[in-house]
Amino acid sequence: MNMALHVYEDIMRMTENLSEKYIIGCGASSTVYKCVLKNCKPVAIKKLYSHYPQYLKEFETELETVGSIKHRNLVSLQGYSLSPYGNLLFYDYMENGSLWDLLHEMRFMQIRPCCRKDIWEGI
């Protein structure tokens, strides 16, 4: 794997301690934040909830599996940060949102029916 190891303190400073204003998504086991790194590249930062029972296992699994998979329809794992306060995973930032966002918003209904069918079948 060729991933960057980011310094936790730098990320906390750039996101104002993972302030709510940087949240771009959340789920049952994590919250995702947008961060612009020192090189001006935006990334999505996934912070797994440390109280989630499979926290460490999920973190290790994502590093091993998602970190080694390269596919044009999947975001790439760009790096990670290790800290006693919580581990972070860094993914490509999707400027237009995720496929889930598209499929669950009214924007999807504005796509021509033939294209919608292609999207559904391509999953």
Point out the annotated binding site for ATP.
47
Cα–Cα distances in angstroms (integers) from residue 74 to residues 5, 61, 88, in the given order: 21, 16, 19
DSSP state of 28: S
CB 78 within 8 A of CB 69: no
Q: Cα 108 from chain centroid? A: 21
Q: Cα 109 from chain centroid? A: 25
Please state the residue numbers annotated as binding site: 47
